[in-house]
Structure 1
Amino acid sequence: MASTPVVFSSVVLEHWIPELVGHRAEGEFQVVVDPSLEGDRSMTLLRVVNGPNVVTLTPARAQQLSLSSTGSVSAEQLADRIRGAGITFNGPDYVYYLPAAEQGVVQAEPVPDGTRQLTTDDAEAFARFAREAPEADLDDAFVELDHWLVFGTFVDGRLAAAASMYPWRDTPLADLGVITLPGYRGRGLGRVTVRAMSARAIEMGYEPQYRCQIDNAPSVALARAAGFVQFGEWDVSGAEE
C-alpha cells in the first residue's frame, strides 16, 4: 500500500520552489537566475524529496556556467561545469519542516512542566548552560538567549536543554537550533523544547525550520523525534576568493 504524500505548508513551497519550476526528468536541475542572491552565496543547489532539483545562481554565475533561467541541465553536466569553474560548496544540509497536519498537533499538546520561554531574567541559568555545553554544539546549533524566540527545559531547577530561533533571511521561516547538555540526553528534553517553541512560532505566524548537516546523526534523529519531516537537501557555494 502506497504511503500518503507529506504535505508541507504553502509558505515552505513558495519559498523554495518558484512558480516557474516545473517537473523535469530525473537527474536534471531546473535553472533559476536570481539577481538578489548575495555575493557570498552566489549559487545554491536544492534537491527536494520526491520533487524537483533546483540550481539558483546570480546572473554572473549563470553566464560563467553557460546556464539560462527556466532552462535545465543534467546533474552530471552541472557537476562538470562547477568543477571546471573551481566553485566550492559548504556541504549539504538536510532541511526539515513540520508537515501541515502536524502543526495543529504541536499547537494542541500541553507543554510539560519545566519547559517554557526564556527571557533576560534567565541570563544566569543560560550562562551556566553555555559554560557546560560542548563547544562544538554551541558552534553548530547557534543557540543564543538574545535570539528572537528562546525556550528551555529545566530539570531540578537547572537548565538542561535550550533551543532558539530567528526569522531566516527576512522570510516567515524561523530557523532553529537546539542543545541538550550531555548528562541529560536520552530523556526527550530536546524534543519537548523544540515542539513547545515551534508551537509558539506557528502562533506568531512563522514556519519552524530545522536544518542540520547530513552527517549529524543525533540532530537528524532529534528532528524526526520532534515531528519534522525532511523537505530536501540544500547546499550553498562557499565564500568567493
Structure 2
Amino acid sequence: MRLKYLLLLPALVLRFAQGAETVQLATYYDYVPWFVPGQPSAGLNARLASKLNSLAGGRYRFESVYIPRRRLDVLLQNGKVTLVVPWVHPRFFDDPGRTRYLWTGALMDDESLVVSSRAAPLEYDGPDSLRGKRFGAPSGHRFPDLEPLIAAGGLTRVDVPQIKNALHMLVSNRRLDFTIVDRSALEALRNDPFMDAALLHVASRPRTASYERSMLVPLDKPELYRFLQGALEALRRDRTWLVPHPRVTDKHAPATAGK
C-alpha cells in the first residue's frame, strides 16, 4: 500500500503544481537592486518571487519578470495577464486615492534624491531650482512634479535606457546636469565596478520625503491581494531576503551614450 502511494506522489505533485495560478511579478526597473539582466535569480524582485512562492503553498506561482513601463501600463489596462507590480507607490501610477488599484502595505521605505556631478554640484530647493537644467531620466518613468516645468521648456528631459547610464554621463561630464535616483538604487549602484560614486554629489534636500514601496494589485484580483497582504507579515518577520548577495552587479558595462 505504501508503495502505491509513493508511486502516485509524483503525479499528485504535478497536478498540484499545474493548478497554481501564474502571477507575473513585474518590475519596470531593469537595474540593481531590483533586477539584474542576465541573472534571473539575482535582484530583489527575484528574491521576492521566491519568498512568495514559498508562502503560497502551491496556490500561486510567482515569476519575476522585467516589463518596460509603457508596456506594463498597457498590460494593466487590458487585464489579460495576471500581474502584480511590487516596489511602487500610488503616485507612480496616478492613483493618489488608491481607487484604480489595490495596494498592499509597505515592503520597504525609500526616498528620491537629486544627484549631480561633484564637479558641478547642484542643490535642490523645489522644482524651480532645476530651471534651465538638463535632466537624465529612464525612458517611460514619470515625474509628475517636474512635468509642468518640462512642458513649459524650463527643464530639458533627456531619456536614457537605464539610470546607471545617466549617472555615467554625469561622472563623464557629458550633457547632463542632474538625474533623480532613489536611495535604494544609488546604494546598490555604489558597488557597480563601472561607477565611481566619489564623483557624484547628492543634494542635501531629497526630492521627496520618505515614502513606502508597496505592491500594486489589479482591482479584479481581491483574493490575490488578500494573500499578498497576509504574506507581508512573514516578509517583515524575516528580512534576510532583502539583503543583497555580495557583489551582485550587472555584468554588462553601461552604454556610454547615456541611459
TM-score tier after normalising by the smaller chain length: under 0.3
TM-score when scaled to structure 1?
Answer: 0.25
Pick the structure with greater CA Rg: 2
Structure holding more strand per residue: 1
TM-score when scaled to structure 2?
Answer: 0.24
